[in-house]
Amino acid sequence: MKNYNLKSLNAFTKFKCTSKLLGCTWVLLGLISTSTQVYASDFNSSISTYGVSQSKVTIKGVVVDERNEPIVGANIMEKGTSNGTISDIEGAFTLTVSSDAILKITFIGYVDKQLSIKGKTNFRVVLSENTNALDEIVVVGYGTARKQDLTSAISSVKSEDIDKFFSGNVQSSLQGQVAGVTVVNSSGAPGSNPSVTIRGISNFGDNRPLYVVDGIPMGTDIRYLDPNDIESMEVLKDASATAIYGTQASNGVILITTKKGKAGKVNFQFDASFGFQTIGSPNMADGLEYAKVLNEKARNDNGSDAALPFPDLNDVHTTNWWREVMNKVAPQQKYNLSFNGGSDKIVYSASLGYYRQDSQMDKGYWEKISSRFNLDFNFNKYVSFTQNLNVSFEGQEDTPGVVGNILKMDPTTPVFIPEEERVNDGVNDRSKPLNWYHRSIHNQAHNPVGAVARAGNDSYSSYRFISNSTLTVKPIAGLTLRSQLGLGFRFNEKDIFSPTFFIDNLERNERSKIERRHNNSSNWSWNNTATYEKKIQKHSFTLMAGMTMEKYRSRTLQGSRNDLPGEFESLRQIDAATGEMTLTGNTSINTLLSYLFRVNYNYDNRYYLTMTGRYDGSSKFMDKNKWAFFPSVSAAWRISGEGFLKDSEIVNDLKLRVGWGQIGNQNIDNGAYLDILSGSYYPFGSDKDLQIAYLPGGVKNPDVKWETVKDANVGVDASFFRNRFSVSADYYVRKTEDMLMQCANPWYSGYPGKIWTNVGCIQVNGWEVSATYMEKFKDWSMKIGLTASHSKNKAKTLADGEALWGGSFDGGGNVTRTVEGGIIGEYYGYIVDGIFQNQDEIDNYAKDGVPIQGNARPGDLKFRDLDNSGTIDDKDRTAIGNPYPDLNLGLNINLTYKDFDFSTSFYASLGGDNFCNTKFRHTTAKNDFNVFKGVYNSVWREGNERNATMPRLSGVDLNGNLSKVSTYFVEDASFLRCRSMQLGYTIPKKFWGMSKLRVYASVENLFVITGYSGQDPEVGGSTLSAGIDNGLYPQPRTYIFGLKMSF
């Protein structure tokens, strides 16, 4: 407010002033502006004015970081007004302000800065990185919150953490980044999906988390997303955080926020990277060692050299099947072009990305084209609208599944038959190129080179369109109304062609076949929420209520026909075939209606309380069980806000959290409450004509209801030494009740198959810790992150108390058994106490003078008689291994020096076991498969007793060396993997016209340290078959070169 004396206002021709003290009235007719208010303030007839126009100045400047790099999109505001602008691609800005203005400059991740212009018109603003992560805004269910206000277990992964990895699937980049999140990359084949679990397993079925992209639930598959388009990922780990998503959140929730536009000039970014993959050759025996192994096996079985498969070891051919099938290198490439810009009314961004990974073989690839477009409209201060569009395409040629046969194949077998045999002899036509391949001479493995030649006919394509529209209205201060509509359409098509070929009677296909599969799905989700925020002195409230509706629809259509007239690609159509034709199709629909609320209370940034609830109704259940309520409550106490710690120079933040919640699971068949009839064909009548028949395909259970997961969590968050060191730790207990399982129908019911029912309970408890240390001095900066987690599961109750069996042993039988009170999917078998070295040891291993293993011979395995019964039988089986690790660790290091940057990431899994079917296949010669290199010198045989670590070779296994699941096949699968190592350099702008140009080189999967004998200790598998190594496609090492530019 400024005071003016009336005598100085000579610009006014007439005015009137009223003063109760003087009793006179002045009439003012000529005001400086319509907003000017004039009144008498005292008897000296001076007046005061508000809103009198003041002088304006135009200022210019540039916003940079501490490395002198321009900051694009920084907000420059005139304090106390709505007048402002945003820095452009050069970091520059221009703004007209009052002559005595104070500027406020802000940018996410940096400390706010205020400047008084004081007559200056040119500014250079240097922003410092904000090391206080407490001010960070994170996404929570149906809203956002400051990190310091969280009362639940939530972890964040930012775009810069994702960018370090060269992958078309963002799920892989989570490994080692978030405590409590386990990512298993069990295959390196193009298009393979890693297994992601949060805090262990919740049930015996699907344990994948729910992905929510920009507020819309997207299920469990996010391959369509380009990692370059992701701004952040928030992992909701405990039920107090996930309960707001109700029935879809039993396995945890991952919230994904995509990148949005920024006001200012148009900013283009282009990322390009190219890499090549290599896979190390497995150490398999050559032809000579293989021949020795088979000869030794024949001696043991026959007792003489009379019938050796290789009587002359000097005449042994060697084929390196790995080299014949696998190429030395395979290309991988990734490109992304994006731009963004806008004004204070409309902001836009768009991107176009391409990714392709080729198989190490001549056949097989996965490619993806993804596009994204985002618009943000600010109509006025009350109404805004956001529109997101994603359009993507995936194409895949199946990678031939021949890795197992590469390892099995007889190395003395040539790839092709001799040229003189490539003829049609009237019985078998070997003139066709697909028939030139040689049959394995000494075993039943199929020729992998021939299998690759016949491959490349299975193609998959997927088109996906996703729309996300959000209308936001803020009618009054503190109230936000939001309506969000998500639409998704997906069209999948797969063509499969099986050509005719003949290698021998056990490796052939006499009839060609063409098959086409269509799977089209659509879904919509409509979210409506009202959020009200209010602060009264030290009390802060946030109230949110809403409702959601979701519908999912899937249609399948599959047709196939035999006998094509030729094998030209143009003839690979169902109409071109002449043989029998089959056709199947179905439609599946399910819906979900939900009502939800959340209450947040904060007193003085010290005491926090959060309550949520969700009332879900699902079409998968009958009326009496259709609805269920899922509540949660959590609280936090910021101890550092108390007087005794408020001014501490060591402890900057210390917060204690506790939470409890209940979530559900509806992951069952849509028709679990219906009796299902399945169509089939049955020969009927004297002519045995095929007639359509219907059989019971499923039996309803009208009483089936929601599976419920109850979760309790206690945690602590702390930061020290000016926020340079931060740590977060949690302990949790999660219990799944009324677990949905399929149980066999009683035999007396007469119905086949299984029925869905609520029988079973499992419990998981564990802990997790994450710590970050950041330091900056002169030209150096450093950030080190460490994660550690442990979880332990237990089956509390099972259907009818019966054990669950899983996993398949190549020697026969199941590998895993799950019982009440035991670990889920633990290996179950016999304990091996070494190898019998001689007959005396066999005779002395006895009870009451009778040998316990009377059929054993020197060189056989010695099994432990657990029940001391004097015989080795089923009662001697016990738990022999746990596929789940005791400890998962992640280490992430980021260093910068001037314009150089370096990052590396490590992941370790300690204490878990693998069951090695590959050891059975490639150390025992049971089926005459090829063996690992060195087996001949490791097996027990006369003269090699001391060096023997493996039992004798024999096809006559009276002792059960190879037919018993035992500790001989269980190995410690602990490993340490260097996931990524990257070195980059940002070329200074003075050497380059663009605003930013960064080049880099990196290596992924650089090395693995492990004592495991298989190709890769990271095996994975389903809940009841985890860790069983059957020889999957190995993870490749990838060398990458790339650049990132902005202009």
pLDDT in tens, 142-166: 888 888 888 889 998 988 888 888 8
Tens-digit pLDDT profile for residues 65-122: 877 778 877 888 888 777 888 887 778 888 888 888 888 888 876 788 888 888 788 8
What residue ranges in 870-1027 does DSSP mark as E strands?
878-881, 887-897, 900-910, 913-916, 970-972, 975-986, 996-1010
Residue 445 has pLDDT above 90, yes or no: yes
Q: Count of alpha carbons within 13 Å of 72, Cβ hemisphere only?
A: 20
pLDDT at 621: 85
Helix, strand, or coil (residue 566): coil
Residue 259 has pLDDT above 60, yes or no: yes
Helix, strand, or coil (residue 61): strand
CA distance 512 to 497: 8
Ranges 74-83, 357-366, 1013-1022, most confident: 357-366
Cα dist from 941 to 849, 950, 968, whole Å: 27, 10, 18
Residue boundaries of the structural domains of the chain: 1-53, 56-127
More confident residue, 206 or 436: 436
Reported confidence tier of residue 265, pLDDT bands at 50, 70, 90: confident
Reported confidence tier of residue 993, pLDDT bands at 50, 70, 90: low
pTM above 0.75, yes or no: yes
CA distance 698 to 756: 9
pLDDT at 383: 94
Helix, strand, or coil (residue 151): coil
Reported confidence tier of residue 37, pLDDT bands at 50, 70, 90: very low
Nearest Cα to Cα of residue 188 among 1035, 1039, 1037, 1038: 1035
pLDDT at 135: 62
Q: Please, are residues 40 and 19 in contact by the beta-carbon 8 Å criterion?
A: yes
Percent of the chain with pLDDT strictly greater than 70: 92
More confident residue, 107 or 795: 795
Burial 786-818 (b: 16+ CB within 10 A, else e): bbbbbbebbbeebbeeeebebbebbbeebbbbb
Question: Hey, what's the torsion of the CAs at 112, 115, 121, 122, to 10 degrees?
Answer: -50
pLDDT at 22: 33
**Element (DSSP H or E) covering residue 217:** strand 216-217
DSSP 651-669: EEEEEEEEEEEEEEE--S-
Q: Please, are residues 635 and 610 in contact by the beta-carbon 8 Å criterion?
A: yes
Helix, strand, or coil (residue 588): strand
What residue ranges in 809-899 does DSSP mark as E strands?
814-818, 826-829, 832-835, 846-847, 850-851, 861-863, 878-881, 887-897
Q: Please, are residues 109 and 102 in contact by the beta-carbon 8 Å criterion?
A: no
- Torsion sign across C-alpha atoms 821, 827, 833, 839: positive
Give me the residue label for tokens 């599959």: 558
Helix, strand, or coil (residue 569): helix
**Element (DSSP H or E) covering residue 768:** strand 761-777
56-127 belongs to which CATH class?
Answer: mainly beta
What are 403's two structure tokens?
Answer: 């890795």
CA distance 120 to 813: 84
For the chain, the average pLDDT equals: 87
pLDDT at 139: 80
Helix, strand, or coil (residue 135): helix
DSSP 601-641: EEETTTEEEEEEEEEEEETTS-GGGSEEEEEEEEEEEEGGG
Q: Please give the angle made by the CA atoms of 692, 696 and 701, to the nearest 5 degrees.
A: 150
Q: Which amino acid is at 493?
A: E
pLDDT at 525: 94
What are 996's two structure tokens?
Answer: 């930013």
Reported confidence tier of residue 539, pLDDT bands at 50, 70, 90: very high
Count how many residues are written for the chain. Answer: 1047
Specify the DSSP class assigned to residue 1032. Answer: P
Give me the residue label for tokens 């084929």: 319
Q: Please give the angle made by the CA atoms of 183, 187 and 193, to the nearest 5 degrees.
A: 55
What are 290's two structure tokens?
Answer: 């293989």
Contacts (Cβ under 8 Å, ≥6 apart) of 7: none
Q: Please, are residues 269 and 912 in contact by the beta-carbon 8 Å criterion?
A: no
